A and B are shown apart, each in its own frame.
Chain A
Amino acid sequence: MTVLFGVLLLTLLVITAVAIVRTKNLFVAVMLLGIFSLLIAANFFLLDAADVALTEAAVGAGISTVLFLGALALTSEFEHAATPHRWLSLAVVTGAALVVLYATFDKPEFGDPNAPVHQHVAPWYLQKTPEYIDIPNVVTAVLGSYRGYDTLGEVFVVFTAGIGVLFLLSARRGPAGRRRPDQAHDPAIGLRSHVIPLVVSRLLAPFILLFGLYVQFHGEYGPGGGFQAGALIAAAFILYALIEGEERTLRVLPQGALNALMVGGALLYGGVGVVGMLEGAEFLNYSVLAANPVKGQQLGIILIEAGVGMTVTGVLLSIFHAFAARDRA
């Protein structure tokens, strides 16, 4: 039955992908990309990968849609006409697709316990985690501790993307006379007609923040962790910005604080590693952080997840403000 649902969802995915490629209206493509992310998240959920599904739903369907729309507001809505008769591209793509299809014939069966991926490191992780780290969610244990170096790389990639976007897009705020009237208070725009979303968003924003914090700290017991929590907290601020206007959001959480979050998160992660070195063990060895090595591992994972969450929040909000400021200036 799982296979049937998986096949149905994947068929919908293919249909969506074809529709995205075929449409000329970029806005429609952005909407369909939202649906695409949802389908992939549902598929991950069917495959029992809850952390990945949560990240895909939060980042792909929520934040990415908002950022695409921000970019779309700066450019035109329709694609330029494609150059016709690109036979060489078609041939290359078809050849690559056939090679990949041929490669899938050798894959092991879905869920086969004797597959190579289940043989080497995975059983060791599953057996040794209760002994070394003692947290129920093995995914967080692998992400945070066994492969902590990779996660350090991920945090620094997110951080680099953030400062890259800020370098490219950070526009000077225009002189005060040229600024459009603050949309939240301009009566001609009629916030009166938007009272219901205003009230509901004001009710919901604290709960989304609280839920983001819950996901951050609950990552050791269930699906969750720094990336998902960062996306959710950024989503709460983006909701506030959508309703109240981007300038008021900058007053609530100014760009300086966002920069501090970005840098602070990456520093926290690196700092935990360096503290491990100062205590005499290797870089990113958490066992020496506390008297009991198991408690040390848990403390280390909490700290680095906090670092990840801070950096992701700072970067996503900075990118959002960079797009919106570009629009305004």
Chain B
Amino acid sequence: MHKLSVTGLIKSFGTAKVLDNISFNLQTGDILGIFGRNGSGKSTILKVLFGTVKANAITVHLNNKLLKTTHVIPNGVIGYLPQDPFLPNNLKVRNVIPMYFKESDLQDKIFYASGISKITDTKVGSLSMGELRYLELLLVGNLNHPFLMLDEPFSMIEPLYKERIKEFLNELKTTKGIILTDHYYKDVLSISTSNIILKNGNITTANNESALRAEGYLPELP
């Protein structure tokens, strides 16, 4: 069981304060959904936590020990699926998998995952958006990180792949804590264990559609 605690996260871009004293906790078994309108700072939270964007202020504790965000990548604390595709286009799928996993049993887990065997000889650049996203998620999700952050894993994904992703995340949460952000709120709500919404730099709990509606994220019902 791992526990990640984030407190006092402040991030400004110039004079605009995007995140104003954000705090939340995450532990193994949790899937935390983060909602918010475009530009509200959802991706910024993930990047700050991953250490690729510097915050004005943040305190992170991993299992009650202070953790610098600059140590997140080298210490392998969090796996991160960014919004944009990140696999090198020139590589074939069968060459990418051994780059992520030395152990043959872990490689086999990916090679024999549903939908992967038919694309092993395909170059990453020739994969469909759904195939690529699913492959990226399998790679990052099967790494040995205790936490996983997913930025829009359901965007532009066909329903069949969405269901595979949901099944995979439900399996993963037994060993990891997961942060998930996506505008496909129904998909997020169907697998998340708790949810927050970002508005004007602050967070509020919003665990269902009516709460999202009340926060102005979803339109009012006619």
Is the A/B pair a real complex?
no
Interface residues of A (CB under 8 A from B): none
Interface residues of B (CB under 8 A from A): none
